[in-house]
Amino acid sequence: IQDSYNTSIESCSNSTCRHDYCVLGAGPAGLQIGYFLSHSQRDYIILERNSGPGSFFNIYPRHRKLISINKIYTGRQNREFNLRHDWNSLLSHKPDLLFQRVSTQLYPDADDLPRYLSLFAKELDLKVQYGVDIGKIWASEDGDHGGRSYTLIDQHGLEYSCRVLLVATGLWVPEEVKFFGSELVEGYESIPVDPEEYQDQAVLILGKGNSAFETAQSILGRASRIHLYSPNPVRLAWQTHYVGDLRAVNNELLDTYQLKSLDGLVEGGLEEIAIVKYSPEKKASGKEKKGDRKDRKGRGQLYLTLADLLQENNGNGSSGITAATLPGYHNDNFSLRQPYDRVIRCLGFRFNFSIFDSSARPPCSSMARGRFPGVTAWYEGKRTPGLFVLGAAAHSRDYRTSAGGFIHGFRYMIRSVHRVLEHRYHGKTWPATKLQTTQLLSWLLKRVNEASGPYQMFGMLADVILLRGSYCEYLEEFPIQALAQLTNLSGHQVTEQGLLVLIMQYGLNRTDTLGPGRAESEWTRAWKSNFLHPVLYYYSRLPTEQDMKYRPVGWPLPRPKAIHHIIEDFLTEWDGPISHSQPLRRFLEHCLQTDLRAFYAESCFLFSLTYTEPPLFCRLGYLKKQGIVGKSKQWQPSQEEGVMADDDESRTSQEENSLPEYLSEAEPFVTSGMN
């Protein structure tokens, strides 16, 4: 580390290193934005305080099993589709730089993630500076470029100055709640992970998230009883569709709870409780009271009580604690009346605000008890222009609604932020594909069946189609919460023809996730779909900030001029000619007021002779000496009859290969869209 640090000093002048972009943290988010900056040849540096990337995962999760899916066999060879089921890989131009190179397990070991991140940084030659512990960050006015600049100072007094600061430190400060006796509670970050340490012990765990259940599951076969306590009931990911809720891989304790094997879940406020040490007096006979436990580890017996019962008690620890201060004295059926050998805090993590000076500190978000910094819809810190928050720390925008707090979600959001940076600081418009309007149907079907970004970041990232009459501009993966700022962020204008927005979303109807009637199969009832499915919104003008603010409850977008749900599909394959393609085409025709059917040359020839204005496909294709060329299999009857010579097969092959790329890739959808 020291050699690397000395090299960085040599490249700096007057103890100050200057870059256009400073990336704070070399975890998954830091390396992902580092890749995009490197690929676009920008001046950047990634600063990491530890000796390698992804150092958080050298410690967490404590019991060393990731809950991010690594499904390497999907039956498909399409890399974009496969990323829908690969939750650990980062995005790059190298098709083989995937997480499966270090692990083939469905739920990999935590040690595999730092190994993969090291591989990613090395093969892409990212500029990472290890051993740089930033202790203070402040902002100042930049006289050279106008606007602000940020200065970071490390443990050696070396300063790093940049125009844009990209904070990718994640959440690593343990979340704590202060109450009477909280010093008696052990933290998830420091508890022993050897199950034998908990043999025949009663354990109370504060929290009901994945870290709490992960801890409970690891000691389930050794502890005498395990109780989980928190304000809210447990939320199951397969019910809420939020991957941060309790995952099935960690929920074995639900079995032992519901099947009455001494374990259980209890709801109650954390601020109202107290943890006290108390040893009941023995009976006159010298025998212990029923339920009394000996302390084999010297920790004393820990009781959960209520702060209200201690208000008149001025003692500390076990001093002044009597039976009357315990809930069981007043209610002999109190759920948590028995003592515990351990109380463990598993409440998650929060963002580290301490290194930011007041001039550079983003405000706390109102979400998740202020654990996240507040950011705009394009992930720039509120009141901190030029400072962007990336990765898990930026999860306030989609907390409990999408996957922005996890690798398989924020890798796409970071790509969107990079496109915002490219437009703002380098004048590059958001990448767009120009399509003829007649190509839109096949392109939409291709995207809903392959695209991984909108699929993983459902309800947050959407494809925006800017209508231009006979053609359209297709923008991929735009953050829809910033839709009102589309022109400013992308550089593209919305014309009077309007725009379409393609988004993936779950249904708003709450149903029994595993019960009967949980899914719709009839395309005429697509609007009642419950599972993840594509939805198209049509607007005749760009929605305003006011429209976005007052959109219907639960809707990702304001009420549109027209909306179309594509029926949910059990296989997530939206390529059926009757259920998917034809209803979508009719919706597009309604919005665009034009015929979008595709025709062979023979039909276009007939239309040209019998109609004043042939369909749009014929006007843009056949009449310009273009169109869909039949395949040799379709010409075989003519060849057998001698109408067409066999040597025309060579011309067929050549013409088939000369089809536009968008048609060759989406050929089945073009066929299914024909009526």
pLDDT digits (tens, 9 = 90+) for 103-147: 999 999 999 999 999 999 999 999 999 999 999 999 998 766 667
Contact of 338 with 264, CB cutoff 8 Å? no
Check pLDDT > 90 for residue 551.
Answer: yes
In the three-class reduction of DSSP (H, G, I as helix; E, B as strand; rest coil), residue 476 is classed as: strand
- pLDDT band per the 50, 70, 90 thresholds, residue 632: low
Burial (Cβ within 10 Å: 0-12, 13-18, ≥19) of residue 514: exposed
Q: Report the 10 Å Cβ neighbour count for 393.
A: 29
Burial (Cβ within 10 Å: 0-12, 13-18, ≥19) of residue 560: buried
- Cα separation, 341 vs 301, in Å, equals 6
In this prediction, residue 450 carries a pLDDT of 97
User: Phi and psi for 85 in degrees, rounded to 5?
Assistant: -125, 15
In this prediction, residue 513 carries a pLDDT of 85
Tens-digit pLDDT profile for residues 318-376:
456 888 888 888 888 999 999 999 999 999 999 999 999 999 999 999 988 899 999 99
The helix or strand, by DSSP H or E, that contains position 536, with its residue range, turns out to be strand 533-539
- CATH 3.50.50.60-classified regions of the chain: 16-172+350-422, 182-280+299-345
Q: What is the mean pLDDT of the chain?
A: 88
Contact of 411 with 168, CB cutoff 8 Å? no
Contact of 263 with 226, CB cutoff 8 Å? yes
Tell me how far the alpha carbon of residue 385 is from its chain's centroid: 24
Contact of 68 with 406, CB cutoff 8 Å? yes
In this prediction, residue 4 carries a pLDDT of 44
Q: Report the 10 Å Cβ neighbour count for 317.
A: 13
In the three-class reduction of DSSP (H, G, I as helix; E, B as strand; rest coil), residue 16 is classed as: strand
- Cα separation, 479 vs 596, in Å, equals 28
Check pLDDT > 80 for residue 635.
Answer: no
Helix, strand, coil percentages, rounded to 5, for the chain: 35, 20, 45
Strands, E, within 25-125: which ranges? 44-48
- Cα separation, 253 vs 366, in Å, equals 32
Q: What is the dihedral of CA 573, 578, 581, 587, to 10 degrees?
A: -130
Cα radius of gyration rounded to whole Å, the chain: 30
Q: What is the dihedral of CA 449, 451, 457, 461, to 10 degrees?
A: -110
**Region 506-517 average pLDDT:** 85
Q: Specify the pairing of strand 264-267 against strand 159-167.
A: unpaired
- Is it true that domain 182-280+299-345 has CATH number 3.50.50.60? yes
Q: What is the dihedral of CA 101, 107, 111, 114, to 10 degrees?
A: 60
| pLDDT higher at 638 or 481 | 481
- Cα separation, 409 vs 402, in Å, equals 8
Strands, E, within 49-145: which ranges? 128-130, 134-141
In this prediction, residue 65 carries a pLDDT of 96
- pLDDT band per the 50, 70, 90 thresholds, residue 512: confident
In this prediction, residue 639 carries a pLDDT of 67
Output the DSSP codes for 245-312: SB-GGG-HHHHHHHTTSS-EEEE--STTEEEEE--PPPPTTSPPPTT----SSS---EEEEEGGGGTT
In this prediction, residue 653 carries a pLDDT of 42
User: What is the pTM (predicted TM-score) of this model?
Assistant: 0.88
- pLDDT band per the 50, 70, 90 thresholds, residue 619: confident
Amino acid at 157: G
**Region 153-157 average pLDDT:** 95
In this prediction, residue 1 carries a pLDDT of 39
Place of tokens 């933290």: 187
- Number of alpha carbons in the 13 Å side-chain half-sphere of residue 293: 21
In this prediction, residue 42 carries a pLDDT of 98
Nearest to 483 by CA among 404, 541, 419, 425: 541
Check pLDDT > 50 for residue 442.
Answer: yes
- pLDDT band per the 50, 70, 90 thresholds, residue 299: low
Choose the most confident range, by mean pLDDT, from 203-212, 590-599, 606-615: 203-212
In this prediction, residue 429 carries a pLDDT of 98
Check pLDDT > 70 for residue 393.
Answer: yes
Which spans in 518-567 are helix H? 545-549
| pLDDT higher at 378 or 331 | 378
- pLDDT band per the 50, 70, 90 thresholds, residue 475: very high
- pLDDT band per the 50, 70, 90 thresholds, residue 280: low
The helix or strand, by DSSP H or E, that contains position 664, with its residue range, turns out to be helix 661-665
Contact of 288 with 282, CB cutoff 8 Å? yes
Q: What is the DSSP letter of 148?
A: E
Tell me how far the alpha carbon of residue 561 is from its chain's centroid: 29
Tell me how far the alpha carbon of residue 557 is from its chain's centroid: 19
Q: State which fold the 16-172+350-422 domain adopts.
A: FAD/NAD(P)-binding domain (3.50.50)
- Cα separation, 15 vs 22, in Å, equals 16
In this prediction, residue 144 carries a pLDDT of 63
In this prediction, residue 330 carries a pLDDT of 86
Contact of 629 with 659, CB cutoff 8 Å? yes
**Region 2-30 average pLDDT:** 76
Check pLDDT > 80 for residue 668.
Answer: no
In this prediction, residue 283 carries a pLDDT of 38
Check pLDDT > 60 for residue 574.
Answer: yes
